[in-house]
Amino acid sequence: MSAGIEPRRFTDSPLGRRNPTVKLALLFAVSVALLFVFDPVTPAVLYLLALAAVAATARIPARILLLAHVPFVGFGLGLLTVNALSRPGTPLLEVAGLGVTAEGLTVGVSLGLRSMVIGVLSIGFIASTDGVALMTSLHQHARLGVRMTYAVLAGYRMLQEMPAEWQTIRSAHQVRAPLRSHGRPRSGVRSFGRSAFALLVVSVRRGERMAQSLESRGLGLGPRTTWRPVPLGRADWWLALGVLLVLALVFAAGEALGFREGHELLFARGAGA
């Protein structure tokens, strides 16, 4: 029934068989490490490595992998433009009265590439990970409480049904709405807001019923067994070790070859400031 609200998953792949908690933690580690990078070379190298790794291990069809790039390539380009135009520094050239600076361009390219590294890894993670398996794994391996786990899973179920629910509410509202001169009901911010509020109320009510039925079955009273436990094996540790090793190598190479730069680049003002 779901009208494509979820991203497509390809869980039968080498990356798909790895433990979801480990993958999530690694993605988080890479994201945090990249916060301290403001040169263009480090994220460029990492992007190529990440793209190669995801393409080789996640078995995502090339077309889907490419299409999934669209949102964050757009966002990356925005970061690039804004930084190139709005950062003080050595002027390179003038575009329509706005000066492009060398520092701005460097930082802009770096930030744009950073969003692409995280973007491509996120695609790899999401496309190779089943949502329910992730929550089960977080419960098993990351000590997420059983009630929290089930609350999120209940929300997940709700989310899957929400496009249909939304369509029902929209149709019901439109049937009763006054028609405009060309015979169609008006659709604008107000009608969107009205439907949105109806959806909120219906969902809150349904959530309360869900919670009651889970509680009446004794959820959270005692220890539970897990249906379809998620494995955590030696291959997962190898994956973690490999990713962290590559990350450390790229950073070390950056230090050795002198291309890595951190926050100090933001304040290194050029002559034309």
Partner 1 sequence: MSSRSTMTPARTRTPFTLKDLVLMVVLGVVFGFLYWALVQAWTGLSILMGPAGDLAQHFLLGGWLLVAPIAVAIIRRPFVGIIAEVLASVIEVVFLGSAVGPILFVAAALQGLGSEIPFALRRYRSFGWGVFALSGLLGAGLVFLFSAFRFGWYGQELFILRLVVQLASGVILGGLLAKVIVEALAKTGVVDNFAIGRDRIGKA
Residues 103-122 that bind partner 1 (CB under 8 A): 107, 111, 115, 118-119, 121-122
Given candidates 44, 64, 92, 199, which one binds partner 1 under the rule CB under 8 A?
199
Contact between 102 and partner 1 per CB under 8 A: no
Contact between 43 and partner 1 per CB under 8 A: no
* Contacts for 162 with CB less than 8 Å, ≥ 6 apart: 5, 199, 203
Shorter beta-carbon distance to partner 1: residue 236 or 261: 261
Q: Where are the beta strands (DSSP E) in the chain?
A: 91-95, 98-101
Q: How far is the CB of 77 from partner 1 (least distance, A)?
A: 6
Sites for partner 1 among residues 124-163 (CB under 8 A): 125-126, 129, 131, 134, 147-148, 150-152, 154-156, 158-159, 162-163
**Residue 134: CB atoms within 10 Å:** 20
Shorter beta-carbon distance to partner 1: residue 131 or 254: 131
Helix axes 146-176, 131-141, angle to 10 degrees: 150
Sites for partner 1 among residues 173-192 (CB under 8 A): 192
Q: Which of 122, 87, 117, 79 is nearest to 103 (CA)?
A: 87
Shorter beta-carbon distance to partner 1: residue 102 or 154: 154
Phi, psi of 4 (to 5 degrees): 70, 35
d(CA 108, CA 266): 11
Contact between 224 and partner 1 per CB under 8 A: no
Contact between 67 and partner 1 per CB under 8 A: no
